[in-house]
Amino acid sequence: MTEPTDPTPDTSFIAPVRRVSARSGRVDFSAPIVLHESARSKVTAVPFFIPRSSGEVDTTVKLQGYTKDKVQFFNSWIEREEKSLTLDAAATQRLYAALFTFYEAAGNAPGQSFLTVPIGEGIADLTGHQPAQVARALVRALESGEVVEHLANTDISIELALALRQSVKLREMQSAVAELRANLDSGSAEESVYQDWCERHSWAFGNMYVLRDDIRDIGPHDSLDMLIPGVVTGYRDIIELKRPDKPVVLEDVARRSWYFSADVSKAIGQCHRYLDLLGDVARQGLRDHPEIIAYHPRATIVIGRSNDWNRDQHQGLHGLNARLASIQVMTFDHLLARAERMLELIRIPDPEPQHEP
C-alpha cells in the first residue's frame, strides 16, 4: 500500500508579497504572481488590498491570461481580456475556501465525504478562535439544509450528537480544571472565588454528584454553601467551603499524633449542626421544596492546601477522616486532583494507529 501524497500545495515558487499603494491611495496591490506558464500562455494573479473605514481589509484578486505574440511584439506577453477575470472580496474568499476543501479531499480516499466549517473570514482551523465564534460556525453548518439532509439519511446522527456533546463537556471540564489551578497558583484566598467555581462545577466532587440545588436556606438563620443531590438516590448532601489559606492538620510532636486545626474543628462543628437540622427538616422533603430530601446526609468540608504536604501529613488527614462519621475533610488540592481524575475518565482517547498486516 502506497503512502498518500501530501495534499499541501507547493508554494515555493511564490515570492514574498510586498504591498504597494496605488496612486489613488485607496487601494494597495502587489506584484503579479505567476500561477501557470508555458511556451504560449501564462496566467498570473494580482492581489489587491482595499482598506475599509472599520479597519478591516478586503482582499480581491485579478486573474490575468496572457498569450505570446511572436510577430508584432517580438515574443512579448500580451494580456487577453477575454481570458482575464477580476474576483471581488466575496468571490476571493469562496475561491480560497474551495481550494482548501479540494486539497483536504486529496488526502481522503475516494467515496469519503467530509465537512469544512467556515469560521470568520474563509475556512480555518478551529485552533486560535474564540469559543463563541467556533460555536456559531458549527451551528450555521448544522443548520444547513444540505447538511441536515445528509445527516438524516445516514446512521451517524446520534453518534454525531453524542460526540459533539462529549466534546463540549470535555472542553468545559478542561477549562474548569485550568481555572481552579490558576486560582490556586495565584494565591487567591477569597472564599467567594471558590464558592462560584464549585457552584458552576459541582461534578468535581465526584461522579456520584452531577448538579447542585439553588436552595441554600434550611432554617431561619442557617444557609448552606452548597446542597447537592446524589445521582442514584437523589438524597442531598452538604458541601461546606472555607478559605484555601487556612491550616488543616497540625502535629502534636510530643504525643506523635495529628489533630485538626481550629478552623477545621469549627467547620466540623458547623457541619454537625447543619446535618442535624437538614435531617430533621428535609427527611420527608423541605416544606416549600418537597423534591429536596435528605436522608442520613453527609458533609464535605473543603479547606486549605496540601500541595506541599509530606507523606505523614496526608496520612494524618486520612486517619482523622476515618474516625469521623458523615463528615469528610479535604483540601482544595484534593478537589483539583479529583476534578483532574474526572477529566481523565471522560477524555476521548486518540485513535490507535492503523498498521498494515
pLDDT confidence of 6, banded at 50, 70, 90?
very low
Residue with the bigger pLDDT between 178 and 219: it is 178
What secondary structure letter does DSSP report for 136?
Answer: H
Domain boundaries, the chain: 20-100, 189-343
Is residue 156 predicted with pLDDT exceeding 60?
no
Alpha helices in the chain (DSSP H): 89-106, 131-143, 145-152, 157-185, 191-200, 262-281, 311-322, 332-346
Q: Tell whether the model's pLDDT for residue 258 goes beyond 90.
A: yes
Please count the CA atoms within 13 angstroms of the CA of 334 that sit on its side-chain side: 19
In this prediction, residues 146-164 reach a mean pLDDT of 61
The yes-or-no verdict on residue 76 having pLDDT over 90 is: no
Residue type, 52: R
**Residues in the chain, how many?**
357
R_g over Cα of the chain: 32
Question: Do 44 and 33 touch, CB atoms closer than 8 A?
Answer: yes
Phi, psi values for residue 354, rounded to 5°: -90, 130
Round to whole Å and give the CA distance between 273 and 296: 13
Q: Is the pLDDT of residue 240 over 90?
A: yes
Give the pLDDT mean for 309-323: 95
Share of the chain above pLDDT 70, in %: 65
Count Cβ atoms below 10 Å from residue 156 Cβ, excluding itself: 10
Concatenating the DSSP letter of every residue in 308-350 gives: T--HHHHHHHHHHHHT-SSEEEE-HHHHHHHHHHHHHHHPPPP
| Rounded average pLDDT over 81-108 | 79
Q: Does residue 114 surpass a pLDDT of 70?
A: no
The whole-number pLDDT of residue 287 equals 66
- pTM (two decimals): 0.55
Cα-Cα-Cα-Cα dihedral of 152, 155, 158, 162, to 10°?
Answer: -120
